[in-house]
Amino acid sequence: MRYLASIAFVYAFAASCAALSIPPPQDILSLDPVNLSNENAIDPCSLVDSINVNASVQLSSWLECQINGFYPYPANTDWSNGHASAFSRNLKFTFNDTHYDFDGSLKLYKSFNETLGRAFDPFNHGFINTLGIPNANGDKGGFVYMVGWAGGFQTRAKRDMYFTNAAFALVREENGKRKIVEFRESSNIPNTAPLPEPNEWGCSFK
């Protein structure tokens, strides 16, 4: 009797899932996940030095501005210059479980640039939430956490597909300018790009 009751429960659960049409994991079907297509959206670059926002918003806006500049997809034709201006030459960079220095991160993004161009047409990205924590000493540095989305029309699946990105950035002031000295990026977007040989990191935390 208990066995028959278990079968009935499983059948009822399966039927309810089918009725709800639960989508597969890591597949957001919304065309505009966080409504960032709004024409009235604020350009984060305009908030970096704004006296109308606090230091936390200035720092988080600076990182959003930099990411918009160096995100490596083909329509962003100037992304390599954005990469050069945003990152410190002493960069420590990770993508998921890989480790790179400045040159390694550039090679990685060049590979992503080619793959994203083939996989999505068009490709889009945006930010869901960004938290900036300025340094207590009042300089331009600090650290930033963010969660975002990326995707678009997937050329093989023939439909819109969106995925989740996350990042942590350590920002320091170098010669009076903000630079990213540590960047930890994670994403669940499927990747077919060949990854460059990772770099070993030293033990210094300076």
Q: Is 7 contained in some domain?
A: no
pLDDT digits (tens, 9 = 90+) for 79-133: 999 999 999 999 999 999 999 999 999 999 999 988 888 899 999 999 999 999 9
pLDDT digits (tens, 9 = 90+) for 137-172: 999 999 999 999 999 999 999 999 999 999 999 999
Q: Is 19 contained in some domain?
A: no
Q: What is the CATH number of the domain that holds 127?
A: 3.10.450.50
Reported pTM: 0.79
Q: Is 78 contained in some domain?
A: yes
CA distances (Å), origin 60, targets 51, 90, 105, 108, 111: 15, 21, 21, 24, 27
Q: Is 204 contained in some domain?
A: no
Q: Is 10 contained in some domain?
A: no
Question: Residue 90's CB: how many other CB atoms inside 10 A?
Answer: 14
Q: Is 36 contained in some domain?
A: yes
Q: Is 15 contained in some domain?
A: no
Q: Could you check whether the bond before residue 74 is cis, i.e. omega within 30 degrees of 0?
A: no
Q: Is 201 contained in some domain?
A: no
Q: Which domain holds residue 58?
A: 27-187
Number of domains in the chain: 1
